[in-house]
């Protein structure tokens, strides 16, 4: 069956094609595609009664729960812009977002109800999710074009102020099927979402579920710890989208107390560099599962995917660009570099965001034209070889200057994770003392620092060797479960 032109129709098509297949599930709750569509239509009617029209903004701040994808599809149906916000958002952060996007509706739940007072300072209507009726009259879909804005993803700007990345219906209509074509989700798959839905990597899983007839199994990020293997087994998870900290937790638990997980058939990684040692261990412990390293940015969702069959021949690569996407490296003046040369990665394609919400100056810095073609300047350093394989080198913000050498902390972390017993690593510079500090999580007793340094000396040049080794119980994580380098730097600066 051909894919409808715009994503608000994807759930309706799935409901026609697989009405009785489970679309959404949480602990003790499930909805089929047909039931999900009915809930979305009722939600759209209720939201319309709250004054939500085409172009209006809807903010939702709540932990993962079954209502979030339904609200997203209801907003798409109305032509409203939705934004799923991190449940860890503080009142000051919400106030800045409210001032930027002036929403018509703000939705909270019990864990985020403390934000109600802040939300009430805006002109928006404010409700708890528990107050929304499950049934009611529907609302017809709005007349939409691919250029219409679909949702906002808030990320931290260069100044630390949240900025809203605009994604259009056309952006999603291009990129979600392109990703699905590369990954190949199947009917009967069960997608385990332990990442917060405020992270666009998790959010897009609802689109793949509709395109493939798969089930979206929602979980809480805090379940990605000791209970992770049990949840995977109990729910029959077949596809696990994750970031390196999630996979490190899974590997640690499976080494400590192995549990059969025969249903797992796919791991996908993005958001941060997945150490080669973790890829090798995933392939060893789960020989039936395929590993897909990927590279992307919120501003265009996905850039490239490395197929499992390409892992051995291109172990350092994040794959080739999606079909219909062009990627190459440029120098500091924006001139295209020959294949294989290191430079800033730039991206061209139909999935490029129109820019940042009400931030024309920042939009102009990142979104420019090269030879008349709209181009996203990623700010990431990398190479593209003659066959199109991309090697990600570093994000400019992460580079460290130490002993006269600019180094990528991921290189040090990769080397550390290759050592026996090391399950995770985070490398940061203690600027006040001029020290390179390496924080490690381990399986069992931490190894001696001298032994770690001796082993790293066989893999890294002298300028990249850490000055101090610090075993810690857990690496700090961001709200999106990535390694929190800012928290590590604060820890480094607090060291005696």
Closest to 102 measured CA to CA, from 62, 142, 58:
58
Name, in order, each residue with C-beta under 8 angstroms of 234's C-beta and a sequence gap of 6 or more: none
Residue 340 lies in a domain: no
| Residues 14 and 76 grouped into a single domain | yes
| Residues 102 and 197 grouped into a single domain | no
Calpha distance 454→419 (Å, rounded): 11
Residue 416 lies in a domain: yes
Distances from the Cα of 455 to the Cαs of 171, 338, 418, 434, in angstroms?
A: 46, 36, 10, 22
CB atoms < 10 A from the CB of 182, how many? Answer: 18
Given 128, 147, 166, the domain boundary residue is 166
| Residues 223 and 259 grouped into a single domain | yes
| Residues 199 and 156 grouped into a single domain | no
CA angle (184 as vertex; 180, 187 as ends), nearest 5: 100
Residue 389 lies in a domain: no
CB atoms < 10 A from the CB of 482, how many? Answer: 18
Residue 270 lies in a domain: yes
Residue 288 lies in a domain: yes
Residue 453 lies in a domain: yes
| Residues 221 and 365 grouped into a single domain | yes
| Residues 149 and 205 grouped into a single domain | no
Given 127, 144, 166, the domain boundary residue is 166
Calpha distance 335→181 (Å, rounded): 32
| Residues 219 and 366 grouped into a single domain | yes
Contacts 24+ apart (CB under 8 A), 329-336: 329/382, 329/383, 329/384, 330/370, 330/377, 334/368, 334/370, 334/377, 336/370
| Residues 208 and 138 grouped into a single domain | no
Residue 42 lies in a domain: yes
Calpha distance 194→223 (Å, rounded): 7
Phi, psi of 329 (to 5 degrees): -100, 145
Q: How many helices (H) and strands (E) does the chain have?
A: 15, 26
Please give the residue range of the domain that contains residue 487.
399-494
What does each of the 496 residues of the chain score in pLDDT, given as a tens digit?
Answer: 667 789 999 999 999 999 999 999 998 899 999 999 999 999 999 999 999 999 999 999 999 999 999 999 999 999 999 999 999 899 988 999 999 999 999 999 999 999 999 999 999 999 999 999 989 999 999 999 999 999 999 986 444 567 899 999 999 999 999 999 999 999 999 999 999 999 999 999 999 999 999 999 999 888 888 899 999 999 999 999 999 989 999 998 998 889 999 999 999 999 888 889 999 999 999 999 999 999 999 999 999 999 999 999 999 999 999 999 999 999 999 999 999 999 999 999 999 999 999 999 999 999 999 999 999 999 999 999 999 999 998 776 677 877 766 778 888 988 999 899 899 999 998 887 888 999 999 988 888 998 999 999 888 878 789 999 999 999 998 888 888 888 988 888 887 5
HSE-up of 250 (CA within 13 Å, CB side)?
27
| Residues 150 and 185 grouped into a single domain | no
As for how many domains the chain has, the answer is 3
Given 111, 141, 166, the domain boundary residue is 166
Residue 381 lies in a domain: no
HSE-up of 191 (CA within 13 Å, CB side)?
29
């Amino acid at each position: 069956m051909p894919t409808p032109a715009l994503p608000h129709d994807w759930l309706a098509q799935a409901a026609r094609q697989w009405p009785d297949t489970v679309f959404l599930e949480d602990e003790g709750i499930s909805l089929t595609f047909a039931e999900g569509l009915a809930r979305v239509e009722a939600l759209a009617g209720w939201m319309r009664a709250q004054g939500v029209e085409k172009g209006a903004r809807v903010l939702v701040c709540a932990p993962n729960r079954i209502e979030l994808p339904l609200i997203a599809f209801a907003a798409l149906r109305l032509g409203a812009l939705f934004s799923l916000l991190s449940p860890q958002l503080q009142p000051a952060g919400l106030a800045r977002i409210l001032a930027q996007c002036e929403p018509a509706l703000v939705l909270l739940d019990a864990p985020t109800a403390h934000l109600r007072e802040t939300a009430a300072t805006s002109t928006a209507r404010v409700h708890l999710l528990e107050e929304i009726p499950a049934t009611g009259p529907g609302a017809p879909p709005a007349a939409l074009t691919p250029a219409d804005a679909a949702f906002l993803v808030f990320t931290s700007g260069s100044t630390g102020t949240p900025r809203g990345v605009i994604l259009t219906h056309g952006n999603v209509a291009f990129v979600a099927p392109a990703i699905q074509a590369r990954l190949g989700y199947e009917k009967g798959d069960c997608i385990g979402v332990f990442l917060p839905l405020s992270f666009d990597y998790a959010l897009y899983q609802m689109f793949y579920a509709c395109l493939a007839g798969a089930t979206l199994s929602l979980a809480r990020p805090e379940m990605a710890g000791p209970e992770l293997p049990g949840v995977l087994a109990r729910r029959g998870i077949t596809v696990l989208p994750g970031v390196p900290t999630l996979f490190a937790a899974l590997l640690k638990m499976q080494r400590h107390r192995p549990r059969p997980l025969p249903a797992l058939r796919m791991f996908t990684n993005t958001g941060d560099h997945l150490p080669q040692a973790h890829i090798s261990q995933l392939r060893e412990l789960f020989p039936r599962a395929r590993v897909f390293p990927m590279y992307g940015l919120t501003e265009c969702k996905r850039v490239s995917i490395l197929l499992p069959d390409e892992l051995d021949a291109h172990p350092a690569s994040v794959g080739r660009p999606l079909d219909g996407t062009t990627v190459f490296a440029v120098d500091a003046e924006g001139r295209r570099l020959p294949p294989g040369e290191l430079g800033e990665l730039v991206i061209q394609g139909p999935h490029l965001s129109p820019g940042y919400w009400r931030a024309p100056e920042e939009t102009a810095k990142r979104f420019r034209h090269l030879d008349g073609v709209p181009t996203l300047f990623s700010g990431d350093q990398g190479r593209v070889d003659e066959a199109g394989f991309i090697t990600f080198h570093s994000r400019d913000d992460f580079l460290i200057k130490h002993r006269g050498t600019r180094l990528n902390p991921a290189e040090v972390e990769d080397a550390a994770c290759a050592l026996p017993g090391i399950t995770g690593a985070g490398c940061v510079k203690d600027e006040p003392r001029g020290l390179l500090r390496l924080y490690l999580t381990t399986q069992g007793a931490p190894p001696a620092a001298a032994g770690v340094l001796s082993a790293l000396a066989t893999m890294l040049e002298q300028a990249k060797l850490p000055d101090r080794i610090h075993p810690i119980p857990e690496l700090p994580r961001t709200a999106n479960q990535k390694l929190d380098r800012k928290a590590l730097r604060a820890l480094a600066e607090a060291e005696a």
